[in-house]
Chain A
Amino acid sequence: MTATPGSASPMAAEPRVALVRAGEPRVVRFAATERHLHTAHATAFMVMLFTGFVLYVPFMAQIFSDRPLMKAAHLAAAAVWLAALAVVLVLGDRRALRRTLREIERFDDDDLLFLRGRAVPQGRFNAGQKVHAIVQAALAVLFTVSGVLLWLGERDTALRLPGTLALHDAAALLAGALVAGHVYLAITRWESLQGIWRGTVPESYAARHHGKWSAREHSGDGAPRPHGVARLGLAAGIAGIGLVAAALLVRDVLG
């Protein structure tokens, strides 16, 4: 049957083998929307981690003595980050993202065994990856709330809460440690890095590390559909608001 936008029917399935090179069949692990979301989040995170680290650690503050510039970059990155996430949600394949969300938030018995160190077959995300995604999502919320409160607290002392700085610091330390592990695991498993970079992983890799997913029929990207004018306009509006907010924050800090 033909998939129509907005219907409950499954989208047109991608061919199972997305790319064949040198006899090694590959399967789609991350759809384009997932990769764009990851790129937007990861890039902004790295900018904010670096600038935040300079603001936080005196040793770094001496090397990069231009504190206002670091603060301006930190705040601008935050505005662009939130806008970029919203733009990906507006223009991307939201149904695929909802499907991904359900995959991540559900834990079965195998997942619980995996977390206890047992080598049991895993789905497209292993249980460790699920835990990481959930904690990072929660940290993103906490970063946003505490960051906005820090910003407001500089303007109105009534909004300066006793735990704001501690929450922002603790979130940064935890997120930084998690990302260090995340990056380590990615670069030591070259195929998984290709997965987020190009979208596909070798079929043998999928079978070895994600046996339960590999055995299924893969449903990757939905067939790209043209965006309506209203949707493109909404995305452009959000992007515009994000950039204007970033510019205003830079002007406010650098004066």
Chain B
Amino acid sequence: MSRVDDPSDLGGRPIGRRAFLGFVGLGLSSLAWGGAAAGLAVQSTKLVPEGLRAMIPFGKGWRIYAVNPPHPRFDPQTWRLTIEGLVEQPQTLSYAQLLELPQARQTSDFVCVTGWSVDDVRWSGVRFADLLAAARPLPSARALEFVSAEKPYVDSLTLEQAGAADAMLAHGMDGKPLERKHGAPARLVMPRMYGYKGVKWVERIVVTDRIRDGYWQERGYDRDAWIGKSNGR
């Protein structure tokens, strides 16, 4: 009587074992080339509308990160942005006052350190030179600390970095006021750095004499988060 537990009785060839090892080997090798392949796949998804793109593999879509949910709520009546620290004249701006400042527009890519990105985001907002003009930073000022309404998220830029031509405090995205999930009503946009520098739900800007570690720097990420030149890349 034949028995199933006798391997010689099963017949066939151990194709499955080879397939398993081959599949694992292929998968592990993708640790080296998978990023580039995903990048190519992403290029081919650009024709799909943004809302759908998030659903397809490696599509260009936002992934919403939060450190202390739920997302802060924005009330245009009560919201205030304070600018304080090493300034001659501390400021408290309402939403309406923020919109009255000189406005800037730009189209730039958003790149997350974890590997996803969104191309050609249309931002509108205020350049830091205009934002800080009334406050007048003191000669000892070296950095800006952006404090989020989502505690304890905070991050900083040097004054030089904040003066970049494409850095802004954005209040509009893709032709609409900033959505709640994207940091309504105002967020930091610094396109040449990874997204974790882009503090959302900014409610306070503190002018300091030196840069301090932010939320993600305390968790091992680089302070100067230049895309392609930081965080191990």
User: Are the C-beta atoms of B3 and A10 separated by less than 8 Å?
Assistant: yes
Specify which chain B residues have a CB less than 8 angstroms from the CB of A145 in the assembled complex: 27-28, 31
Q: How far is the CA of A219 from the CA of B195 in the complex (A)?
A: 58
Q: With CB as the reference atom, state the residue of chain B lying closest to A66.
A: B69
User: Are the C-beta atoms of A162 and B27 separated by less than 8 Å?
Assistant: no
User: Are the C-beta atoms of B69 and A111 separated by less than 8 Å?
Assistant: no
Other-chain residue from A55, A95, A105, A149 in contact with B14 (beta carbon distance below 8 A)? A105
Chain A interface extent, by class: 35 or more
Tell me the total A-B contact number using a CB cutoff of 8 A: 167
Specify which chain B residues have a CB less than 8 angstroms from the CB of A138 in the assembled complex: 19-20, 23-24, 27
Specify which chain B residues have a CB less than 8 angstroms from the CB of A135 in the assembled complex: 23
A68 at the interface (CB under 8 A from B): yes
User: Are the C-beta atoms of B23 and A166 separated by less than 8 Å?
Assistant: no
Q: How far is the CA of A170 from the CA of B69 in the complex (A)?
A: 28
Q: With CB as the reference atom, state the residue of chain B lying closest to A171.
A: B27
Q: With CB as the reference atom, state the residue of chain A lying closest to B222.
A: A157
- Pick from A40-48, A74-82, A210-218 the stretch touching chain B: A210-218
A169 at the interface (CB under 8 A from B): yes
User: Are the C-beta atoms of A58 and B4 separated by less than 8 Å?
Assistant: no
Q: How far is the CA of A62 from the CA of B70 in the complex (A)?
A: 9
Number of interface residues of B (CB under 8 A): 55
Specify which chain A residues have a CB less than 8 angstroms from the CB of B35 in the assembled complex: 161-163, 165-166
B47 at the interface (CB under 8 A from A): no
Of listed B5, B14, B23, B221, residue having the most chain A CB within 10 A: B5
From 1 to 57 in chain B, residues with beta carbon under 8 angstroms from any chain A beta carbon are 1-5, 7, 10-17, 19-20, 23-24, 27-28, 30-38, 54-55, 57
Nearest Cβ on chain B to A140's Cβ, whole angstroms: 10
A118 at the interface (CB under 8 A from B): no
User: Are the C-beta atoms of A163 and B31 separated by less than 8 Å?
Assistant: yes
A160 at the interface (CB under 8 A from B): yes
A65 at the interface (CB under 8 A from B): yes
B63 at the interface (CB under 8 A from A): yes
Contact A162 B34, CB 8 Å, known A68-B67, A106-B14, A145-B28: yes
A248 at the interface (CB under 8 A from B): no
B176 at the interface (CB under 8 A from A): no
- Mask: chain A, 87-129; 1 = CB below 8 Å from B; 0 = not: 0000000011001001111111101000000000001100000
A19 at the interface (CB under 8 A from B): no
Q: How far is the CA of A59 from the CA of B54 in the complex (A)?
A: 8
Q: How far is the CA of A134 from the CA of B78 in the complex (A)?
A: 59
Could you name 5 residue pairs across A and B whose Cβ atoms are closer than 8 Å? A59-B55, A65-B69, A142-B27, A216-B4, A218-B4
- Which B residues are within 8 Å of any A CB, using their own CB? 1-5, 7, 10-17, 19-20, 23-24, 27-28, 30-38, 54-55, 57-58, 61-71, 114-116, 181, 219-222, 231-233
Extra contacts, 5 of them, besides A58-B62, A58-B64 (Cβ < 8 A), are: A10-B5, A141-B27, A149-B31, A166-B58, A171-B27
